[in-house]
Amino acid sequence: MPSYIVTCNDDATDEQVAAAKQQAIDQGGKIGHEYTLIKGFSVSFPDDSVQTLESHEAVNQVELDQEVRTQ
């Protein structure tokens, strides 16, 4: 299952972040990690799932979780 990093708006309330997580769960996602330094979380979705999290009012960005390397 692909994993995504969901970053919420800086001014999102705790309730809005919780609603975004619930939307992900309702769409078949599984919350992996809840971040504390930023308002956000990781979520895994089945390969054939369609995500609409980017349209949630509290969500700023959804990006595929991938390995980052420095040169």
Q: pLDDT by residue (tens digit) across 21-55? A: 999 999 999 999 999 899 999 999 887 666 778 88
Specify whether the CB–CB gap between 16 and 8 falls below 8 A.
yes
Please state the pTM of the whole predicted model.
Answer: 0.85
Alpha-carbon distance of 66 to 64, in angstroms, equals 6
How far CA 26 is from CA of 21, 22, 66, 71, in Å, comes to 9, 6, 24, 39
User: What is the C-alpha to C-alpha distance for residues 23 and 28, in angstroms, rounded to an integer?
Assistant: 9
CB-CB contact of 65 with 29 (8 Å): no
